[in-house]
Amino acid sequence: MTVMFVPSYRYRISIRAFRIGQLDFPCWFSTQSSPGETTDEVVNRILAVGDEYPFRREKICLDYIRKLCASGDLLSAVKIPQALIEKRIFPGYRAYDYLLEAADKENDFHLLFQVFKDLHFSSGSVGLNAYLIVARAFGKHDDSDLLLRFVADVCHMKLNRSVGIILNRIIYALAKCGHVDRALLVFNYMKSSSHKPDLVSYNTVLAFFGRLGRIDEMLFEFNCLKKSGLFPDIVTYNTILHSLRKMGRLDLCTVYFKEMTEKGIQPDVITCKALIESLGRSGNIEEALRVFDEMNKRGIHPSIHIYRALVYSLKKMGKLDLSLRFSEEMKKMQMHSVVLRDERYQNR
């Protein structure tokens, strides 16, 4: 084991080099900032690690941010990633996530937006976790104006990519965290802004309405989608059909399936599953079998779930021979899937 010392102004950092396989990795064991240390000095400590150890550099950056946040100096903590970005060094997603959580704990929404904005200017791709932190922060407060001000500030961000993508992700994150009404607040804000909802916006809203069983609201927004000049896709119709089937609105399933095919949208296995389950539950087993035959002709391979739905419906209708036939087909398909999976495992 070798010990090296890196000289620098007012401090000295020691590195232990240890070997894993054929690579040398440094082990920095001093990240204590000196009293009164400036942002530039802290950044120089981080940069001293070198480009060959980016993950270690990100960890040191995060350690400094944690210490500053623990001492209550969030403003200085925020300056570290900003200074690194000026030097074209990305501080890492964990640093931004930690700063977002720290701003949330302090109920500092001005700082929350600043970190959120810095993250989007510094990275071409922002993960879901940052959006979830922001969603949880706004979910704890009843002030809807606070959220709308945040969204308005996002709309004024001058980015190289669409602001609509960011708004869509905020809607999704709010709904995922259980704050559906706040997600709708953002969605309705988009309708009145220059960043109109796109197909992704509508599909997201339709999906969480469907999961919650709010069918009338889902169908209302579906009609709004069509009136806006957007064209529903296979995801849209699958969401509608699945939600209607789940809530027992079986009569409407065939209506929207017909509408979908008339628009030239080809069904997939998810579409067929929803339709076959709906027809089977409503006792229209002959039509369910016709859809099953049609999907085979189209080259759409039935899933285990489709077979189970058919077997269940056939048993319920007293067609035991046909039920047994589909049950045998399902077992063969399951066995074939196991064999293919084993072969893939062996060929690794």
Q: Which amino acid is at 233?
A: D
CB count within 10 Å of CB 50 equals 11
**Whether residue 13 has pLDDT greater than 50:** no
Query: For position 347, what pLDDT does the model report?
Result: 52
**Whether residue 113 has pLDDT greater than 80:** yes
Q: Which of 83, 96, 20, 25 is nearest to 54 (CA)?
A: 25
pLDDT band at 177 (very low <50, low <70, confident <90, very high): very high
**Whether residue 173 has pLDDT greater than 60:** yes
**How many Å apart are CA 131 and CA 266, to the nearest integer?**
34
Q: What is the mean pLDDT of residues 144-165?
A: 90
Q: Name the one residue in this structure whose structure tokens are 């779930």.
A: 305
**Whether residue 343 has pLDDT greater than 60:** no
Query: For position 283, what pLDDT does the model report?
Result: 85
**Whether residue 306 has pLDDT greater than 50:** yes
Task: Give the residue ranges of DSSP H helices in 33-179.
Answer: 39-47, 54-70, 74-86, 93-105, 109-122, 128-139, 144-155, 163-176
Query: For position 220, what pLDDT does the model report?
Result: 97
**Whether residue 136 has pLDDT greater than 80:** yes
**Whether residue 9 has pLDDT greater than 60:** no
Is the CB of residue 122 less than 8 Å from the CB of residue 82?
no
Q: Which of 103, 154, 161, 90 is nearest to 133 (CA)?
A: 103
**Whether residue 336 has pLDDT greater than 90:** no
Query: 25 pairs with which residues across the strands?
Result: 18
CB count within 10 Å of CB 252 equals 17
**Whether residue 318 has pLDDT greater than 80:** yes
pLDDT band at 27 (very low <50, low <70, confident <90, very high): very low
pLDDT tens-place string over residues 47-92? 887 777 788 888 989 999 999 999 999 999 999 999 999 988 899 9
